[in-house]
Amino acid sequence: MKWLAGILIAAVMAAPLILGNKMDMQGQQLGYEKKLPTLSYEGTINGKYFFKMAFTREDNILSGTLINTYEKENKIYGTIDYEDAFLLTEYEDGQKAGVLEGRIISDGELKGTWSTPDGKKWFPFSLIRTIG
């Protein structure tokens, strides 16, 4: 009877290892990783300062990069709601550099305002989707 209890204990302890290994093998056999499409846009701030923005969207989370008028690449993170209104924070060297609030007007156009983190300065922006 002791040997039966020993076998049962060993089986219970080994099951997660065996099943976990099987799941890892299945993931490897699929041979792909879920990749989110990157959406790229170009346009202007205040109608005269060129900038680019590229981000991925996973559910209601946006993350990506913004190349500003000084050609510095900054990180952007934020959220988007079911009506395609978004709020992004721009980070330069780990510090907040700006806030972008706007809306996806159509699949090919974004409009909104860029402001300083304290909200004292703001400028309208307009972007058009690019291929790639």
Q: Tens digit of pLDDT for each residue in 26-64?
A: 545 556 666 788 999 999 999 999 999 999 999 999 999
Q: Give the chain's mean pLDDT.
A: 83
Q: What is the pLDDT of residue 36?
A: 83
**Residues 124, 110: Cα–Cα separation, whole Å:** 11
Residue 68 one-letter amino acid: N
| The pLDDT value given to residue 20 | 57
pTM (predicted TM-score): 0.71
Q: Tell me what pLDDT residue 106 has.
A: 81
- CB-based burial of residue 41 (10 Å sphere; 0-12 exposed, 13-18 middle, 19+ buried)? buried
Please tell me the distance from the alpha carbon of residue 34 to that of residue 118, in angstroms, as a whole number. Answer: 37
Low-confidence ranges of the chain (pLDDT < 50): 27
Q: What fold is seen in the domain 38-130?
A: Lipocalin (2.40.128)
Long-range contacts, stretch 78-83, CB < 8 angstroms, 24+ apart: 80/104
CA nearest neighbour of 124 among 75, 70, 105? 105
pLDDT at 121: 96
What would you report as the CA-atom Rg of the chain, rounded to the nearest whole angstrom? 24
